[in-house]
């Protein structure tokens, strides 16, 4: 028998904290579940559908067999990993990096960004993001009490000689950036190579950015470089921290999830000058305290061997092949794609798709984004064409979401057969235009 409670009706009322009150399920809660529900080919969320390289798997096996990596490790970073990172990145940064003070490991780049933003941004400080931006940045800024300001990357320049749209056409208006900077600006956050456009910032563009940043002694530049080893053709990835006068004011954020195709391991790191990395490492003590020891040991071993085994070249070659495969498919499906110089994403143009009635609106899992064309198109692509993409307005402020109306973002970090199946399914679009 269930006893009736003698306590009066509860007076408990839950209200989330003010700083998170605007948070709701994000684009990731909508599209992977929707793809699963409709058995659609998921070219939405960027995670490889293949296992990490043997280099990493063997390192993990050996680490497990060896034993002794099951307890907490050094909070600011497992020694073997920070040493391996200092060895790898010192040549890439053209300076000897101190593994103890200029590098800290984090729970993926996500926590790296979160800890960085909490360590730098005061209540009321302004943070400038370049739209479209990876969606996670806004949450971290709001949790720090910062104010968001936006500058847009827009498709501006000319197409390539062969008529293809190029990621390098996505450029910022420098005067717009200068106007966005105020005495309250504390941080500018860039992503290079850039998700979702696939742009790799040119050295000239970065020099121009740095000239502006260096005029403001309080501004820290955060450069999210998680796709650092995925660049194609002759695109050259310049690390903004290596430009004159920039190391002291730049935090570079990286992720082994991308480099070693292991997004679920959540191993990331931040690289920068001692005062900033010290602040981030101190903050990190109060977030996860430390990062998985076993995984850090394995990632360290992978880094120790990657260069010798030509791993980075193989990674580039694999992804360039996959990019070409999907790019061809999107072109043949009439989606006029933007050719990426880096990352594992392609933006495609959906303007020829004409949705009828409430197509794409009634299949929502989370109920969000119903009023936005790109969300409806991506839902309809999932349910009616069998291929899932991400609506890029998730990477814009509400105010500018309409700029993404005619785009969809497809990822090519999938097996070739899966890309071929997606390409075949997308050909159905040609009959519907
Ligand atoms: N930055 C960008 C631009 C990303 O695409 C991702 C991928 N989720 C992250 C940061 C986060 O990386 P991680 O999975 O290592 O947290
Ligand atoms: N970075 C990946 C993307 O942009 C995954 C994002 C996520 O799962 N939060 O698709």
Q: Check if 108 has its Cβ closer than 6 Å to any atom of ligand 1.
A: yes
Report yes or no on 139 lying in a domain.
yes
Predicted pLDDT of residue 305: 98
User: How many angstroms is it from 112 CA to the middle of ligand 1?
Assistant: 10
Report yes or no on 7 lying in a domain.
no
User: How many angstroms is it from 46 CA to the middle of ligand 1?
Assistant: 9
User: How many angstroms is it from 32 CA to the middle of ligand 1?
Assistant: 16
354/224 same-domain check: no
Predicted pLDDT of residue 369: 78
CATH code, 323: 3.90.1150.10
Is residue 433 exposed (0-12), middle (13-18) or buried (19+ Cβ within 10 Å)?
exposed
278/318 same-domain check: no
pLDDT tens for the chain, 433 residues long, are 556 656 668 899 999 999 899 999 999 999 999 999 999 999 999 999 999 999 999 999 999 999 999 999 999 999 999 999 999 999 999 999 999 999 999 999 999 999 999 999 999 999 999 999 999 999 999 999 999 999 999 999 899 999 999 999 999 999 999 999 999 999 999 999 999 999 999 999 999 999 999 999 999 999 999 999 999 999 999 999 999 999 999 999 999 999 999 999 999 999 999 999 999 999 999 999 999 999 999 999 999 999 999 999 999 999 999 999 999 999 999 999 999 999 999 999 999 999 999 999 988 888 887 789 999 999 999 999 999 999 999 999 999 999 999 999 999 999 999 999 999 999 999 999 9
Report yes or no on 179 lying in a domain.
yes
pTM listed for this prediction: 0.97
297/360 same-domain check: no
Predicted pLDDT of residue 9: 81
Predicted pLDDT of residue 285: 98
Helices H / strands E in the chain, number of each? 13, 14
Range of the domain at 388: 23-46+312-431
Domain boundary among 273, 306, 339: 306
Question: pLDDT of 163-198, one tens digit each?
Answer: 999 999 999 999 999 999 999 999 999 999 999 999
Q: Check if 255 has its Cβ closer than 6 Å to any atom of ligand 1.
A: yes
Domain boundary among 262, 282, 306: 306
Predicted pLDDT of residue 109: 98
229/340 same-domain check: no
Q: Which residues have CB under 8 Å from 109's CB, separation 6+?
A: 224, 226, 253, 254, 255, 257, 268
- The rounded mean pLDDT for the chain is 96
Predicted pLDDT of residue 432: 96
- Give 340's DSSP letter: P
Predicted pLDDT of residue 245: 98
146/228 same-domain check: yes
Report yes or no on 394 lying in a domain.
yes
Report yes or no on 9 lying in a domain.
no
Vertex 230 angle, CA 94 and 240, to 5° = 35
Predicted pLDDT of residue 371: 84
Contact between residue 224 and residue 189 where contact means Cβ atoms under 8 Å apart:
yes
CATH code, 155: 3.40.640.10
228/262 same-domain check: yes
For ligand 2, residues with CB inside 6 Å are 28, 45-46, 195
401/300 same-domain check: no
Report yes or no on 265 lying in a domain.
yes
Report yes or no on 10 lying in a domain.
no
Predicted pLDDT of residue 188: 98
373/400 same-domain check: yes
Domain boundary among 253, 276, 306: 306
116/232 same-domain check: yes
> Tokens 């990674």 label which residue?
315
* Rounded-to-integer distance, Cα 128 and Cα 135, Å: 14
259/326 same-domain check: no
Q: Check if 125 has its Cβ closer than 6 Å to any atom of ligand 1.
A: no
Q: State the total domains in the chain.
A: 2
* Ligand 1 atom nearest 257 alpha carbon: 15
Q: Alpha-carbon torsion 50, 55, 61, 67, what sign?
A: negative
318/272 same-domain check: no
Length of the chain (residues)? 433
CA 107 to chain centre: 14
Mutate to test the pocket of ligand 1, among 115, 136, 343 (most ligand atoms within 8 A of CB): 136
Going by DSSP bridges, is the β-strand pair 338-339/165-166 parallel, antiparallel, or unpaired? parallel
User: How many angstroms is it from 27 CA to the middle of ligand 2?
Assistant: 9
Mutate to test the pocket of ligand 1, among 105, 109, 224 (most ligand atoms within 8 A of CB): 109
Report yes or no on 4 lying in a domain.
no
134/248 same-domain check: yes
């Amino acid at each position: 028998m269930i006893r009736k409670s003698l306590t009066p009706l509860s007076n408990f009322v839950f209200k989330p904290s003010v700083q998170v009150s605007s948070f709701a399920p994000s684009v990731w809660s909508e599209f992977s579940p929707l793809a699963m529900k409709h058995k659609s080919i998921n070219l939405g969320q960027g995670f490889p559908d293949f296992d990490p390289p043997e280099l990493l798997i063997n390192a993990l096996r050996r680490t497990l067999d060896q034993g002794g990596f099951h307890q907490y490790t050094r909070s600011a970073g497992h020694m073997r990993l920070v040493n391996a990172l200092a060895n790898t990145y010192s040549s890439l940064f053209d300076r000897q990096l101190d593994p103890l003070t200029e590098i800290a490991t984090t729970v993926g780049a996500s926590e790296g960004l979160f800890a960085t933003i909490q360590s730098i941004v005061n209540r009321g400080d302004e943070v400038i993001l370049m739209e479209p931006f990876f969606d996670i940045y806004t949450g971290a800024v709001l949790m720090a009490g910062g104010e968001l300001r936006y500058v847009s990357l827009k498709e501006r320049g000319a197409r390539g000689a062969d008529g293809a749209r190029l990621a390098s056409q996505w450029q910022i208006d420098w005067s717009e950036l200068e106007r966005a900077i105020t005495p309250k600006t504390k941080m500018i956050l860039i992503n290079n190579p850039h998700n979702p456009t696939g742009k790799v910032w040119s050295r000239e563009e970065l020099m121009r950015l740095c000239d502006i940043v260096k005029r403001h002694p309080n501004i820290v530049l955060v450069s999210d470089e998680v796709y650092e080893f995925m660049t194609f053709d002759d695109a050259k990835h310049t690390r903004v921290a290596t430009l004159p006068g920039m190391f002291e004011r730049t935090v570079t954020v990286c992720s082994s999830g991308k480099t070693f195709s292991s997004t679920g391991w959540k191993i990331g790191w931040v690289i920068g000058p001692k005062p900033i990395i010290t602040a981030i490492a101190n903050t990190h003590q109060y977030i996860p305290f430390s990062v998985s020891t076993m995984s850090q040991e394995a990632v360290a071993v992978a880094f120790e061997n990657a260069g010798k085994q030509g791993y980075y070249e193989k990674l580039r070659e694999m992804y360039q092949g996959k990019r070409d495969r999907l790019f061809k498919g999107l072109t043949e499906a009439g989606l006029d794609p933007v050719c990426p110089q880096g990352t594992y994403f392609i933006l495609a143009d959906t303007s020829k798709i004409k949705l009828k009635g409430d197509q794409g609106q009634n299949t929502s899992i989370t109920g969000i984004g119903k009023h936005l064309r790109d969300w409806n198109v991506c839902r309809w692509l999932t349910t009616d064409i069998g291929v899932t993409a991400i609506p890029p307005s998730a990477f814009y402020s509400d105010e500018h979401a309409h700029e993404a109306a005619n785009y969809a973002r497809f990822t090519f970090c999938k097996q070739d057969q899966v890309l071929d199946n997606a390409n075949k399914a997308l050909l159905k679009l040609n009959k519907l235009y």
